[in-house]
Structure 1
């Protein structure tokens, strides 16, 4: 990862708003996007910066980004990935480099409307920690984009409990206190509302404009469905068990405990006397030993996981670190 910035950024006061824009092969859209950001965010009357994170583009996007930085070094900051890492990694890198007290994420394909950024910020300042955009009138193809998105959002709402209509919308506004507690990985950018909810964040939703793609090609497809399901399972497991992994492993051992009790009961009520000198008795001893060893292994794994969680300080800066109300002593 190669960050490109200006020494003056470290010398001036942090801006109020940081806009993080993941970029992958959007050479035609970038000048138009930056022009709209200048128009709408620049009119807000507060300090701001935009961080473009290039995810190893091959169409000339990097050259355009360097030109934007040269023309507007006060506001433009750049990160270049040496290879493609994905949108989630791009967002995480932008979060790490951002300095604003409010962080806004935005797609580079011009389908998100920068005119909605002031509205998101105003909504966030009503007392929310995160405001999520809702593309209610989505301008995408039905079968390859909208239908999978509807199903994914229904599943995410049902499993995670986050009552958000459009978790996959990149257009979101975060308070910095939340961003600093939100390590993300894999393809989990679409689960940020669910991850934020685990920290007690106050989440709002705002209907935003969604525009049809004019230039370039979509990077999304139906092939992401399997990754959505696997990441949803990961988020659910982390959210449910990371605070007490011993309970998780203890639950995993329950079937073996029940099987052992059933086996012992069968032996105790058997009409035949069990002797460990014959094949039946030896088989019974072996099976019970395996069950008991499995139960002990699960409990030891749980204890080890407890030690790992505590030693890694996962709650020092993590998704599940609770947000504390201002003024709390």
Structure 2
């Protein structure tokens, strides 16, 4: 059995580091440029694998040089890439500007990801072996829906990150078990800005919601239960590019291991806090021993304060 299957995007992140992001029509001088393997799907796969999960990736890379690097990055992190397709043409790219506050602005060009609009032979078989299927919205909606519905047919838990934010079709919501938006995505989907109100609105469409709140932590809500908020560690952010994907990957591992949601959220927020203290996307993601050590430190610190 494969613990976690990720159906999603692979992108090469082209990252420019600047003191302040340019406004429209403005040119600024940056201090550094990096190419870093990323994409929300690949990021979540790497995060989950480094957090100790057994992970397989379904998606596509191109026939360019980036494609080989993207595949190799997944494999080095322990992700099974047997069903990662190679599509003729360029790989997906993400053009990212990171400022000195750790904030970012991103333009994604799908490339090979645009071909992942359906399941191919073997995809559903792999999904059926999983405990959880992780989905995002950087591949065509047709592919996302096909994956979610396959998971539903086989009783596999679906975890959807609704990013980039867009209206979600009813058939996708019907096949989603856990929705994990950030606060901006939650507000867009729910039509209300306040996170708790947004969560309550979203529960009319899906059974469980975790809203990530950046430095303020995360909020969990489920039908028939009292909402729960978990604080995030206080750290100095260097680059927040992959924080949400790190959180989701680690959260999935904790849930597959059978941890209760509060404990899973604390562990996932610890992983995300470690990632934002380093530059890059997949390159910033922590390994399980780091997460465990930091989580233990947080627990001891909390006990001392009490």
Does TM-score exceed 0.5, indicating one fold?
Answer: no
| TM tier, smaller | under 0.3
> Given the two structures, how large is their TM-score scaled by the length of structure 2?
0.26
* Bigger radius of gyration among the two: 1
More helix, by proportion: 1
More strand, by proportion: 2
> Given the two structures, how large is their TM-score scaled by the length of structure 1?
0.25
